[in-house]
Amino acid sequence: MIKRFDNPVLIEQIRKARRVLIATHINPDGDAVGSALALCHGLTAMGKEVTLSCADPVPGKLSFLPGADQFVQSEALQGKTFDLSFAVDAADAGRIGNMGEVFFQSPVTVQVDHHPTNPGYAMVNAVDGDAAAAGCVVYRLLTAMGCEITAEIAQCLYAGISTDTGNFSFENTDGEAFAIVAELVRAGLPLNEMSRKLFLLKEEAHVRLLGRALQTLRIFGGGKCACMQLTPADYAAAGASGEHSDGIVNYAMNLWGIQMAYLADEKEDGMVKVSLRALPPYNVAKVAQKFGGGGHVLAAGCRYKTTLKEMCAALEKEMCSQLEE
């Protein structure tokens, strides 16, 4: 059920390396931080001198992961050299941002990833486009090296696998993801505490902003569409900033019978930021493109210079015309 890591040459190269760099992608998510940390803990236990790096800081909501405070940014790498460099969960070389310079200077570059579009930019590319998360590939690598899966490693890998699978609900969730998590539980994973920290706990500013947005909830399109809006006054009242609106659009989308939804978020610079969601067969990327945005068929967005009222009217016209197709 759990795939074997089949690259004895790489394992030998890792054994020989003393100073190791691990870089992960810009705007790091749970899989980026968790996979890089798990690899770091494993290699440190093998006696390596490991430097963990990311062009951007670790988001506050992941700072509880063991070792999260060890990440450094590019300035801290000035003049340092490494025997081997890893890139983790980075679909292309651009994704490691300004870490690329140090990464490509290493005599051996390795990447561990799970994006099917990965072009294979390192010397050794441990890329499995079928793996649910980079954390799954890191698990295979660590066990292939004979590394003990400690409770710390288990927490980091769980953070990666659970977040990249949408808490085991996305299409990419497979038997291997569950089989690995079963091993992590055996290794001492505090499952309840971890899932509370990763999926339930919210910042107060987010919940207060959500409260303001919910008061504007409106249904249109014959009961098939829903929308909400936010203004700078809502952010001020909630004590919130831009990142606190993440996920709010889903409260409009996740109503029974709703097929398309949007959140229109008026900004101080005269732009309106729009988040759009849909269920098949609808296509909100098409709606976003009308206003200079883009994204996926079922999740898209745009930023457009207009008033909140005009933005809403224009969006609703586009969405309603899809209902009629």
CA distance 139 to 78: 30
Shortest separation between residue 149's beta carbon and Mn ion, angstroms: 19
User: What is the distance between the alpha carbons of residues 58 and 182, in angstroms, rounded to a whole number?
Assistant: 27
Candidate list 31, 176, 234, 318; residue touching Mn ion; CB under 5 A = 31
Question: Shortest approach of Mn ion to residue 128 CB, angstroms?
Answer: 11
Task: Kindly tell me which of 152 and 164 has the beta carbon lying closer to Mn ion.
Answer: 164
Alpha-carbon distance 292 to 276, whole Å? 13
Cβ partners under 8 Å of residue 31, min gap 6: 89, 133, 134, 135, 159, 160, 161, 163, 164
By C-beta, is 180 or 274 nearer to Mn ion? Answer: 180
* Cβ-proximal residue to Mn ion, closest one: 31
CA dist list (Å): 238 to 59, 168, 217, 266: 20, 31, 17, 15
Q: Considering only CA atoms, which of 165, 160, 137, 196 is closest in space to residue 33?
A: 160
The nearer residue to Mn ion, 31 or 265, going by C-beta atoms, is: 31
In whole angstroms, how close is the CB of 89 to Mn ion at the nearest point? 4
Q: Is 156 in the site for Mn ion (CB under 5 A)?
A: no
Strand order in the sheet with 225-230: 218-220, 225-230, 260-266, 271-278, 299-305, 294-295
From 37, 88, 134, 261, residue interacting with Mn ion (rule: CB under 5 A): 134
Q: Count of residues binding Mn ion (CB under 5 A)?
A: 4
CA dihedral 14, 128, 166, 199 (to 10 degrees): 0
The DSSP code sequence of 277-289 is EE-TT--HHHHHH
Q: Which position among 128, 164, 234, 316 is part of the footprint of Mn ion (CB under 5 A)?
A: 164
Q: Counting contacts by CB under 5 A, is residue 265 touching Mn ion?
A: no
Distance CA 275, CA 237 (A): 21
- Stretch binding Mn ion (CB under 5 A), from 27-35, 73-81, 94-102, 193-201: 27-35
Q: Please, which residue, 164 or 234, has the CB nearer to Mn ion?
A: 164
The answer to the question of residue 89 lying near Mn ion (CB under 5 A) is yes
126 or 134: whose CB is closer to Mn ion?
134
**Is 157 exposed, middle or buried (CB count within 10 Å of its CB: 0-12, 13-18, 19+)?**
buried
Residue 97 tokens, joined: 């941002």
Q: Which stretch binds Mn ion (CB under 5 A): 2-10, 69-77, 79-87, 160-168?
A: 160-168
Report the residue number, 84 or 134, with the smaller CB distance to Mn ion. Answer: 134
- Of 40 and 302, the one with the shorter C-beta distance to Mn ion is 40
Q: Which stretch binds Mn ion (CB under 5 A): 20-28, 162-170, 202-210, 216-224?
A: 162-170
3-state SS of 189-235 is: CCHHHHHHHHHHCCCHHHHHHHHHHHCCCEEECCCCEEEEEECHHHH
- Distance, in Å, from the CA atom of 281 to the CA atom of 298, rounded to the nearest integer, reads 9
Q: Which is nearer to Mn ion, 129 or 211 (by Cβ)?
A: 129
Residues 37-76: x where in contact with Mn ion by CB under 5 A, - otherwise, as a string: ----------------------------------------
Q: 135 or 293, CB closer to Mn ion?
A: 135
Contacts of Mn ion in 272-291 (CB under 5 A)? none
Task: By CB under 5 A, name the binding residues for Mn ion.
Answer: 31, 89, 134, 164
